[in-house]
DNA sequence: TTCGAAATTCAATGATCGTTGAATTAAGCC
DNA sequence: GGCTTAATTCAACGATCATTGAATTTCGAA
């Protein structure tokens, strides 16, 4: 499997980053990734409530191409995470205040509690559905 | 003169702010406003090196409508400033890390030194031009 | 009252954006 | 092999974007 393109963090311009943040769905994804205590627990399919699969693919690509997220391929699944260390090295403090700002926005799409809590339980459907 | 529309800061969404920041010219304007020690010393015409007058008008409007800048009308001139207190109240810490991030970008348009230093001298042309 | 400077408005352009839905790829499993 | 699931790709759409250049508004000063 071809392992997805990620830009070198030094090639990312501030305007590109802000462009990628200029959308409620993408801000929702970013907050959700942050809520997942980060690394590699977020499969793309966790976000089906946010938008259709093809639209999600589009938004994932935007975030990735702007240097904000990393995507790890494993089988037919993809795992997302925020490129925290690199972002903090290149734009110190920025990503945290962005996430903090987005987290306070009540109009962003949010992850259901079934994905949040610990992350260790079996991931079958929850009662109501 | 009709005194220009400014959105209530509470009506500004994070995604709107990031949208307004997703452009090098606007980031350049923002950094320049910040460099001008803020309040009300920045006339629109200070930015003629950044773009054509009509394009500048367009970018000024974007920043203003996103709640980032304030525009004070005085005669035929307009004075720009950053809505710092309001932004900090609504999105604590955000605008400072945005400006700090933008300030480090070497590719943004910048103000010539004739506008910067003290701001008290006569504003005639500088030697070379 | 005419002139000039400051800035905006307007119409037009090509580019990019967000969204849809259908088709496609790729891997794991019976 | 043939399903099923995960996710992407592609073509299309209308909307918004950045940019241009010409016309317009507004005010102050000669």
Spacing of B75 CA from C6 C1' in Å: 9
Q: What is the mean pLDDT of chain A?
A: 88
How far is A87 from B61, CA to CA, in rounded Å? 30
Bigger pLDDT: B63 or B117? B63
pLDDT of A118 above 90: no
pLDDT of A119 above 60: no
**Does A107 contact chain B (CB < 8 Å)?**
yes
**Does B58 contact chain A (CB < 8 Å)?**
no
Percent with pLDDT over 70 in chain A = 85
What would the mean pLDDT of B99-120 be, rounded to a whole number? 85
| CB B125 under 7 Å to nucleic chain C | no
**A91·B101 Cβ contact <8 A:** yes
pLDDT digits over B62-78, tens only? 999 999 999 999 988 99
Confidence tier at B113 by pLDDT (50, 70, 90): confident
pLDDT digits over A57-107, tens only? 999 999 999 999 999 999 889 999 999 999 999 999 999 999 999 999 999
What would the mean pLDDT of A23-41 be, rounded to a whole number? 89
Q: DSSP letters along B11-66, please?
A: G--HHHHHHHHSSHHHHHHHHHHHHTTSTT-EEGGGGTTTS-HHHHHHHHHHHHHT
User: CA neighbours within 13 Å on the CB side: how many for B77?
Assistant: 11
Which architecture characterizes domain B14-103 according to CATH?
Orthogonal Bundle (1.10)
**B105·A23 Cβ contact <8 A:** no
Q: Which residues of B touch A104 (CB under 8 A)?
A: 91
**Does A14 contact chain B (CB < 8 Å)?**
yes
């Amino acid at each position: 499997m071809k392992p997805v393109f990620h830009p070198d963090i030094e090639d990312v311009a501030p305007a590109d980053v802000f462009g990628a943040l200029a959308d409620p769905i993408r801000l929702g994804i970013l907050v959700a990734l942050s809520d997942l205590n980060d690394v590699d627990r977020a499969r793309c399919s966790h976000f089906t409530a946010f938008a259709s699969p093809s639209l999600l693919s589009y938004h994932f690509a935007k975030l990735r191409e702007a240097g904000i997220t990393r995507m790890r391929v494993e089988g037919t699944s993809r795992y997302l995470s925020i490129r925290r260390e690199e972002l903090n090295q290149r734009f110190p403090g920025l990503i945290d205040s962005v996430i903090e700002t987005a987290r306070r926005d009540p109009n962003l799409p949010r992850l259901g509690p079934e994905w949040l809590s610990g992350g260790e339980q079996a991931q079958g459907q929850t009662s109501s559905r």
